[in-house]
Amino acid sequence: MRRFALLIALAALAGPAQAQDRWADATVVSVRLTSFDFTPEEIALPAGRPVVLRLYNDSSGGHNFAARDFFRAAEMRPADRAKVVNGAVEVRSGATVEVGLVPAAGRYRLRCTHTFHTALGMRGSILVR
Ligand SMILES: [Cu+2]
């Protein structure tokens, strides 16, 4: 047990391992996409701490999670950044997409940019503080 504790202490001293741990501790925040809502509509996130957005599409049609300014301001690893195209993450019918990021403080607009979906109710906000 003591040896195990020592290994953890050594791992904490190592730079790259520490960076890895930061993401391992990410809080998972689930957001449900349906026709035509986001649940929750207002997403509250802690500023400066890693979170994993688990976006799941519980409907028979495709949707996206569009929040250009939110994604632009966030710190993201390349693999996660690649999931954002034109400020939006596409989530096909029945699919789940996880996006890791460290959000920056602010209030951001959220919507689905598929034709008419914003007007039909797919809008919300992201509050990071
Ligand atoms: Cu939509």
Tens digit of each residue's pLDDT (9 = 90 or more) over 96-120 = 999 999 999 999 999 999 999 999 9
The CATH number of the domain holding residue 56 is: 2.60.40.420
Residue pair 107/69 in contact (Cβ under 8 Å)? The answer is no
23: pLDDT confidence band, cut at 50, 70 and 90?
Answer: confident
Instruction: Please give the C-alpha separations between residue 28 and each of 13, 15, 123, in angstroms, as whole numbers.
Output: 26, 24, 21
Asked if residue 98 belongs to a domain, the reply is: yes
Q: Count the domains in the chain.
A: 1
Find the 74 Cα to ligand 1 centroid distance in Å: 23
Structural domain includes residue 9: no
Q: Quick check: is 1 in a domain? A: no
pLDDT for res 9: 47
Question: For residue 12, how far is its CA from the centre of ligand 1 (angstroms)?
Answer: 43
Note the pLDDT tens digit of each residue in 2-15.
555 544 444 445 44
**19 domain residue, yes or no:** no
Q: What is the CA(26)–ligand 1 centre distance, in A?
A: 27
Domain ranges, residue 112: 26-128
Q: How far is the CA of 33 from the centre of ligand 1 (A)?
A: 7
Question: Which backbone phi and psi does 115 adopt, to 5 degrees?
Answer: -50, 120
65 located within any domain:
yes
Q: Is the pLDDT of residue 69 over 90?
A: yes
